[in-house]
Structure 1
């Protein structure tokens, strides 16, 4: 029934997260409401960190991909758990620095960083700027020179691998807005140019093949391709790069049928490929970086809604409408993403009502799911959508002038607000007449 270890049902038949009653949380904080289990997040962080220690002898780091869910509390948790941080914008970087995240553990990504963002990264002294293209490389060299600095970089490489996920979340194939292609020689040309630039220190390579991947083999193949390219660089330039960022994209269980690979299995399998390929190619084992995001926070979150209208269209479908929707979870409308839902105050009962979950936005496509089985629902019930810790709050909008929901963190039997619910006044605060 549940897709995460942090969920359960109590003696009242209510859904719990981290041992706390979700119905009571909805009553206390209102709905819509994001709830996240801090202990689950920390357990996930520790799985990755221990895997780096075990399979690479500690020669590497797991960098939390903050785009999955970025706020001060999440950056602080990642910092305390010894994680690095993957940021993709000036806003994410600013959030990290607001909690004094160690800049040397930050990896700054993005396919079109602005002048202001690059200057911000240089000012803070981020550990690595992951350069996406030649335009950025030249701009970075110029900005670093004007500030009397040298920039430590990695190149984002397209390894030419199709991860067999939704077309909008595949990023490793040649037809992608991200990175430099191997097939065309573009990547090698960029490497040679970087090695000649006076204010650029090329430290390593990065790749990311996609998101919500359940197979190990694409990650193994990506590691092989990247290490062969490192060997090619060494042969053509005499320079051996000593850092390899293999990205993220590890799938999670959104619905009970999903069977994601255990993170330890992934790490072990890829490490065997890395060790074997390095031995074959005559390379030193590089410092390995991975960038889990969804798999750190996704299963640690639920979203709670209050059910409003229940509308049955005979012989067609039954709509169950909630007080949120695409403004707080756009993933169904974007990717047709699957979710598991239940009536939180009736979790102990059978799920025998087939419904389409509808949001309140003025869009026919504002749905959270179709053909979903939930308990018998009526107005005023609390609906829980599971595994919403990643890419829900971070992708939320104010469409229809809806205030963004609060985010509550639960830990050790207690709860606290880590992001306040927006007020109507806050919606207007940047409006001018």
Structure 2
């Protein structure tokens, strides 16, 4: 059994996280329940900040809030000296409501609306990451309307394909994101940006994928971006102050995954930057990165209560829990794999292999195939590990199922960060037209 962070099995044979017995958490907050190991989140954040400090380069580590965006997480990111990457008005609003400093917010996205851009301009965010020619000119016009000059990075696709799932590879040439480096679009974008009076081009951004377990992809990206920087300096007389190399740093979900220590990723990036730019006699740029999953992924655990079961002799045994694809769509979307334990009987011997099904009315609502557990009983608690990233963030109300609560645990204390949705929340935005009310009353 592989336990992350502060997780351990206590004397009662129960899973304990952040000094809190998960059986007690289930009794107090109900299930499904997202549990966040705050100490591990802070540890991961510090690993990045300390590794970059050791390089001697100027840097910003921006937490990619799309992985998990709630006000409590934004507050921790600020306290750990991180910047923040947002991709929508909702994420921006969450950050601002949490009191996160606007000047440390970077706004991403391939289709920022005028309303979103104006909201970010009014908030005074630190940087826009421009994704396409339409946005380039729209942002300049909206900034001009407000008499502002704004910092921008241009997102480029460097033609580097990370070894990852097809759906989460974003650095290759055929991508919905960014200006392509290979076909000249990136060059043309910088040429146009130079002439736009209300944009201050800091540099470029690239992101080569997610769940990356090696450093060669990052080295290749630095090689391409640094060569491009030299070309732009020589031909357009523009010098990049900032190089943003995105995120994508992998985590361990199962024994099949072998992520590198954070310091190893950072050292590969910073060594490559120093080498390439020094050789080109180019001022060393400030380096930005955007870890999300690797900050919160393994710090999250989802706790479920076991309900029904179904055994098909000679085929498999299904065990159903009180959540599923509504709180974790990743197995259905990406065929993602997870590890789990019976949290209330963690020390008992493994006696059967089961497949964990969700409660949605959907055949594809499966969380884990072929999981070895003690003999499972109705009412048992199942803890699924490494659900901190892209679980709450991608949760839905399919089948009108309520979204779970979120608690942060640390030093034996459990703090509610997101309340469980109520049934009133489910219908809160519904409107029953008057003509339908009349029709109903007449029947």
Shorter-normalised TM-score: what interval? over 0.9
Distance 1:136 1:171 in 2: 19
Alpha-carbon shift at residue 90 of structure 1 (Å): 0.6
Question: Which SS does the other structure have where 2:375 is aligned?
Answer: coil
Q: CA deviation at 1:25?
A: 0.9
Partner residue of 2:202?
203
Partners of 1:156 and 1:205 within 8 A in 2: yes
Aligned to 2:42: 42
Q: Which residue of 2 aligns with 1:91?
A: 90
How far the C-alpha of 1:2 sits from its partner, in A, is 1.7
1:320 Cα deviation after fit: 0.7
Q: Deviations over 1:46-104 (max 9, x none)?
A: 111111111134x1011000011001100000011110000000110011111221111
C-alpha contact 1:10 1:16 (8 A) present in aligned 2: yes
- Asked if residue 402 in structure 1 is aligned to residue 395 in structure 2, the reply is no
Alignment match, 1:80: 79
How far apart are the structure 2 equivalents of 1:62 and 1:323?
37
* CA displacement, residues 355-384 of structure 1 (integer Å, 9 cap, x when unaligned): 211000000000112122223211110000
Q: Distance in 1 between matches of 2:175 and 2:321?
A: 36
| 1:11 maps onto 2:11 in alignment | yes
Task: Judge conservation of contact 1:3–1:256 (CA < 8 Å) in 2.
Answer: no
Q: Is the 8 A contact 2:5 2:37 kept in 1?
A: no
Structure 2 partner of 1:21: 21
Q: For each residue in 1:28-63, what CA deviation from the matched residue of structure 2 results, as whole angstroms up to 9, or x when unmatched? A: 111000000111111111111111111134x10110
Q: Distance in 2 between matches of 1:95 and 1:56?
A: 32
Greater displacement, 124-133 / 252-261: 252-261
Instruction: Tell me, in whole angstroms, the C-alpha distance in 2 between the residues paired with 1:367 and 1:357.
Output: 6
Counterpart in 1 of 2:338?
A: 339
Deviation at 1:6, TM superposition (A): 2.1
What does residue 393 of structure 1 align with?
392
Distance apart, 1:316 and its partner CA: 1.0
**1:197-227 per-position Cα deviation (integer Å, ceiling 9, x unaligned):** 1111111110111111111111111111111
Which residue number corresponds to residue 426 of structure 1?
425
Unaligned runs of 5+ in 1: none
Cα drift, residue 412 of structure 1: 1.5
Q: Which residue of structure 1 aligns with residue 277 of structure 2?
A: 278
The 3-state SS of whatever aligns with 1:346 is coil
Q: Which residue of 1 aligns with 2:216?
A: 217
Calculate the aligned-residue CA RMSD, in Å: 1.0
- Consecutive unaligned residues of structure 2, counting only runs of 5 or more, are 433-443
1:271 is displaced (CA, Å) by: 1.1
Separation in 2 of the partners of 1:63 and 1:374?
39
* Residue equivalent to 2:165: 166
Q: CA deviation at 1:403?
A: 0.7
* 1:141 equivalenced with 2:145 (yes/no): no
Shift of 1:3: 4.3
Measured in 2, the distance between the counterparts of 1:359 and 1:68 equals 22
Aligned with 1:279: secondary structure?
helix
* Deviation of the 1:246 alpha carbon: 0.6
1:59-138 → structure 2 map (5 Å cutoff): 59-138=58-137
Q: What's the TM-score, normalizing by structure 2?
A: 0.96
Matches within 5 A, 1:260-409: 260-409=259-408
Q: Deviations over 1:90-126 (max 9, x none)?
A: 1100111112211111110000000101111111111
Tell me, in whole angstroms, the C-alpha distance in 2 between the residues paired with 1:427 and 1:282.
Answer: 59
Instruction: Please give the secondary structure, in 2, of the residue aligned with 1:345.
Output: coil
2:2 paired residue number: 2
Give me the whole-angstrom Cα distance separating, in 2, the residues matched to 1:266 and 1:6.
Answer: 24
Shift of 1:5: 2.5
Query: Is 2:219 the partner of 1:192?
Result: no
For 1:5, what is the secondary structure of its paired residue? coil
Greater Rg, structure 1 or structure 2?
2
- State how far apart, in whole Å, the 1-side matches of 2:150 and 2:171 are: 25
CA contact (8 A) 1:351 1:373 kept: yes
SS at match of 1:295: helix
Greater CA deviation, 241-250 or 347-356? Answer: 347-356
Separation in 1, partners of 2:277, 2:26: 53
TM-score scaled by length of structure 1: 0.98
Contact 2:19–2:413 under 8 Å retained in 1: no
Separation in 1, partners of 2:21, 2:221: 43
Deviation, 1:261, is 0.4
Post-superposition offset of 1:354: 1.5
Cα shift at 1:335: 0.1
